[in-house]
Amino acid sequence: EADMSASATLPTYERSTVIDFSQFLYYDSFSIAYKEPSIEPNVRGFVLPFAYTVWLVLAITTIVFSIAVYLEPKISGKFMRERTGQIPVDSRLSTSVFSTFGFLVGQGGEYMRKTTHVTSQLVAVWLLATSIIGYSYKGNLIAMLVLPSIKIPFDNLEQLLSQKELPYRLAAGSFFSQGMENSPPGSLMKRIYEHLDGYDNDVPKIIENIFTSKYAFISNRIPYLGIMAQHFSKTGKCGMQVTTETALVHPISYVYRKKFPLRKEIDNLIVRFRESGILNKLLKDAYGPNVTVCVKPGARAKSEAGLRALAIADFYGVFALLAG
């Protein structure tokens, strides 16, 4: 037995039936902790030089030009004469499409030798346009490939529920667990509860499993920040990441035994320290400046990332395109 516990605790009704709580020290909330994301090869790097709207416009233009090259010889063919020395163009649609795409990727073939005068002008305009596009694309491609790609798996409860790669757990009997169990059917909290991977109350084991990406864990945000700050001071890395969006804001207090005689005096001190900003100052000093590096998902890894050597995985997108 003890008169008072200096361990910050979340007040609940069930706990208040056997113990008393002090004035609140600060407010905390629940966040999801997961392994700190790292730099990965960028499979989508080959499409990054242009915005998706540019790719869409380019695709539509290619289709329109292919149709124009296919139809133009049919329309003007009756005006061709043998004395021109031109051979009637192969008017198959597949030839027009492949030739147009060939010019786009710098692989023009025999098509230019078998065209009408008007088609030659169309092809010349297309060659000029694709040359500009090609040079712009090549100039940006390598730069885009070597830029760091950091995958953030989720940043709120909705995204946690929608992803299937990383299971998640929480502490048995926690306030968050009780809230999920008592949530109405079909609500977000209830659906998160239904997909829960299990419970864990062994703190060292929880931290290890988060660091090794065995599962994500839902718990109080402030202790997470302390763990990240401590890990960063030792290793230069955050080790884990927490979501920026939080849930269930709640007060944190000290614990008294029932009828503790010094409760009023201690509560008065807590109120004075809190309202003067001393408690917030002590809390920030406990983290140190390291926690600011780890708060934003992926910020630490991005801050250290420069140009990197290309990996095989960086070319998967290009290889898949060529295979197709």
Q: Are 42 and 308 in contact (CB under 8 A)?
A: no
Which residues contact residue 210 at a Cβ distance below 8 angstroms, ignoring those fewer than 6 apart? 33, 34, 35, 216, 217, 239, 240
Q: What is the mean pLDDT of each run of 10 residues along the chain (324 residues)?
A: 75 81 88 83 69 85 81 63 49 71 66 60 78 76 64 88 90 82 88 90 91 92 87 85 87 88 91 90 79 76 57 60 55
Q: What is the pLDDT of residue 83?
A: 45
pLDDT at 77: 58
Q: Which residues are annotated as a binding site for L-glutamate?
A: 15
pLDDT number for residue 216 = 93
Can you give the pTM of this predicted structure?
A: 0.62
- The pLDDT of residue 310 is 57
The CATH fold assigned to 27-39+149-250+276-314 is D-Maltodextrin-Binding Protein; domain 2 (3.40.190)
pLDDT at 208: 92
Binding residues: 15
CA 299, CA 297: separation in Å to the nearest integer?
Answer: 6
**All structural domains of the chain with their residue ranges:** 27-39+149-250+276-314, 49-146
Contact status, residue 157 vs residue 188, Cβ threshold 8 Å = yes
Report the C-alpha gap between 269 and 178 in whole angstroms. 32
**Whole-number Å distance between alpha carbons of 26 and 8:** 10
7 neighbors 253 (Cβ within 8 angstroms): no
Predicted pLDDT at 68 = 79
Q: What is the pLDDT of residue 179?
A: 82
Query: Alpha-carbon distance 89 to 95, whole Å?
Result: 10
